Amino acid sequence: MNFPRRLFLKRGGIALAALGAGSAWDPGFLARAVLAAEAEHSPVAKKVLVCVFQRGAADGLSMVVPHADPFYYKHRQEIAIARPARITGPENALDLDGYFGLHPALDAFLPLYQAGELAVVHACGSPSASRSHFDMQDFMESGVADDKGVQGGWLNRAIVEKPGRHGKPSPFRAVSMTPVLPRSLQGDAEALAVRDLATFGVRGSGGPAGVAAGFEGMYESAVGDVLHGAGKDSFEAISMLKKADPTKYAPAHGAEYPPGGFGRSMMQAAQLIKADLGLEIACVEMDGWDTHANQGGAGGQLAGRLHDFSRTIAAFRTDLGDRMNDVLVLTMSEFGRAARQNGNRGTDHGHATAFFALGGPVRGGKVLGEWPTLAPEKLFEERDLAVTTDFRDVFAEVCLRHLGLAPDALGKVFPNYRVDAAKFRDVLKA
């Protein structure tokens, strides 16, 4: 095998494939694994950012219900969430502050909000008027609006600008729990795409010894071809994963993750954090938010997604315990849904939505942002909740106050955008 080193420099992403997937043993996989192994295991990163992307445009008006806005009920006669009741029932919004309430399926979030660990940024999104899922996800992950010329993602640029530590960074500094690297982590800094820890080529002591030995032999051969003799020393990065053996992991403090892909990804993100592999940024995705038909109100299609969404994130918080003091979970979606329901008892593509922030660094117990109201004359293009908080102001605050970037670095992370701290919503404690 012949792997010119120039092919593996500044690739911006290292995808570790799974055993039994057919392509797992291709030369590209082995070479990328070798490249990951070049990095030395650095000191444990204390601050961790977990970005959760709700792909498909999550309905912020159902997630965080403006029950005191009279136009909400005029726009959504059949799918509106009922106002909070003195005796809370399964159909009623869970009151937060007298104006907003959580969807009843988000009940796992209520105690976190009341404890000051969870905050909401409402009417948040992109100033772009596009209603294309592809374009708006691309813009949000690139950290721009209506600019397809920007290369790489905002998280990757944040990694580049983040103050360095002694020694080389851990190969697990930035990890996406997905089959392929998302746009947000593409760029000059190395990042890993890890679909499932349980299907890595190297397992812990509980894995089949023959399989692991065979992989190590093939890996060592690839090392010899690419790095000309680094041998077993370069196997260190892969063997680090043995500390996070998914076959033996048990969530702590009685945490129970819902079954399914999102629950598994969040559990494994928690596992990586607790394994002290130097994780600083993790990306997790949950799809199924494109509710054009039969969206439902307090029950139904959307409620089912919200149920798993909130219980998974609440389980993650329980699992990490005191380690949440240094962990920030930030949720986002490319845009929201239209203010008015459509003829199929669903909602069409909209504009602004609601973001959630959870963790020790969060100034929680608040619904943050400027509410534009749902009055017809205040709607964006006469149909959508207007954006009053640019998503880049939320991301920039996270970069500055959680990831520790210098103020003058923010212009590099968010090109062609003037970051102004006066527009921050104070999601995080100063």
- For residues 312 and 417, state if they share a domain: yes
- For residues 403 and 308, state if they share a domain: yes
Which amino acid belongs to residue 156?
Answer: N
Query: With a threshold of 0.75, does the pTM exceed it?
Result: yes
Mean pLDDT, range 210-231, rounded to an integer: 41
Domain final position from 187, 214, 245: 245
pLDDT tens profile 332-348: 999 999 999 999 999 99
Q: Has residue 1 got a pLDDT over 60?
A: no
- For residues 333 and 368, state if they share a domain: yes
- Domain extent, residue 143, equals 43-196+258-423
In a domain, 430, yes or no: no
pLDDT value of position 180: 94
pLDDT tens profile 360-373: 999 999 999 999 99
In a domain, 371, yes or no: yes
- For residues 57 and 26, state if they share a domain: no
Q: Give the chain's radius of gyration (CA, Å).
A: 22
- For residues 149 and 90, state if they share a domain: yes
- A 10 A CB-CB count for 7 gives 12
- For residues 34 and 51, state if they share a domain: no
In a domain, 377, yes or no: yes
- For residues 155 and 262, state if they share a domain: yes
Q: Give the least confident one: 61-70, 162-171, 375-384.
A: 162-171
3-state secondary structure of 285: strand
DSSP string computed for 308-356: HHHHHHHHHHHHHGGGGGGEEEEEE-S--BBSS--TTSS--B-S-EEEE
Mean pLDDT, range 87-106, rounded to an integer: 95
Using alpha carbons, select from 34, 43, 14, 53 the residue that is nearest to residue 279.
43
Phi, psi of 221, rounded to the nearest 5 degrees = -65, -45
Q: Give Cα separations from 71 to 104, 339, 340, 373 (angstroms).
A: 20, 9, 10, 8
In a domain, 67, yes or no: yes
pLDDT tens profile 371-430: 999 999 999 999 999 999 999 999 999 999 999 999 999 999 999 999 999 999 999 998
- A 10 A CB-CB count for 150 gives 16
Mean pLDDT, range 88-110, rounded to an integer: 96
In a domain, 252, yes or no: no
Residues 123 and 388: beta-carbon distance below 8 Å = yes
- For residues 192 and 315, state if they share a domain: yes
CATH code for the domain in which residue 294 is found = 3.40.720.10
Non-local (6+) Cβ contacts of 167 within 8 A are 40, 42, 43
Q: Has residue 168 got a pLDDT over 80?
A: no
pLDDT tens profile 100-139: 999 999 999 999 999 999 999 999 999 999 999 999 999 9
In a domain, 251, yes or no: no
Q: Has residue 178 got a pLDDT over 70?
A: yes
- For residues 21 and 111, state if they share a domain: no
- For residues 211 and 183, state if they share a domain: no
Residue with tokens 């954006």: 387
Domain final position from 188, 223, 245: 245
- For residues 87 and 184, state if they share a domain: yes
In a domain, 250, yes or no: no
Domain count of the fold of the chain: 2
**pLDDT band for position 243 (50/70/90)?**
low
- For residues 86 and 181, state if they share a domain: yes
Q: Average model confidence (pLDDT) for the chain?
A: 84
In a domain, 352, yes or no: yes
